Amino acid sequence: MAKWLLKSEPSDYSIDDLAQDEITVWNGIRNFQARNFIKEKMRVDDSILFYHSSCKLTGVVGIAKVVSEAYADPAQFDEKSQYYDKKSQQENPKWFVIDVKFERKATAIFLLKEMKTSPELEDLLLFKQSRLSVLPVTDKQWHFIVSKINS
């Protein structure tokens, strides 16, 4: 099973929002590389690290899981949505989503600044592509991060 890191701005959608909703549609991804990961690589039961970005305490704050195959993002066809894309056609959708299910909150947030100083994470794609909001993590990176948020 593949493992992923998903970023979200907590002022927009936080781990507490997910805990309350249980399941949410991960919509609004409008970056091609992120789209391709979702559409081509994500599978049901893949694991997710939930990361808070653009806030006071940036870092990994919980764990979630992929619970659907990729499907067309409905928001791209909704003229009233902020994610509306007039260039996307029903028969050939540009943007995709998956459903995400809450698993658990971190006991302790693993802060970005701590992640940066961990040799175990030196190859983390998060540092190389700071603007990518959907990115794969290796099994080793996964286990290291999970050990940090459970302690």
Q: Which of 54, 89, 117, 147 binds DNA (CB under 7 A)?
A: 54
**Sign for the pseudo-dihedral over CA of 143, 147, 148, 149:** positive
Stretch that binds DNA, among 39-47, 53-61, 73-81, 142-150 (CB under 7 A): 53-61
Q: Nearest-CA neighbor of 36 among 123, 128, 142, 133?
A: 133
Q: Which of 2, 30, 74, 103 binds DNA (CB under 7 A)?
A: 30
Residue 23: CB minimum distance to DNA, A: 22
Count residues binding DNA (CB under 7 A): 16
> Which residues inside 100-119 make contact with DNA, applying CB under 7 A?
112-113
Give me the residues paired with residue 64 across strands.
48, 102
CB atoms within 10 A of CB 7: 18
Work out whether 68 is an interface residue with DNA (CB under 7 A). Answer: no
Work out whether 53 is an interface residue with DNA (CB under 7 A). Answer: yes
Q: Which is nearer to DNA, 3 or 7 (CB)?
A: 7
Residue 14: CB minimum distance to DNA, A: 14
**Cα atoms in the Cβ-side hemisphere of radius 13 Å centred on 97:** 14
CB 77 within 8 A of CB 34: no
Work out whether 131 is an interface residue with DNA (CB under 7 A). Answer: yes
Work out whether 129 is an interface residue with DNA (CB under 7 A). Answer: yes
97: amino acid identity, one letter: V
Q: Which is nearer to DNA, 114 or 139 (CB)?
A: 114
Provide the 3-class DSSP secondary structure of residue 101. Answer: strand
CB 51 within 8 A of CB 6: yes
CB 45 within 8 A of CB 65: yes
List contacts with DNA (CB under 7 A): 7, 9, 30-33, 53-54, 58, 112-113, 129-133
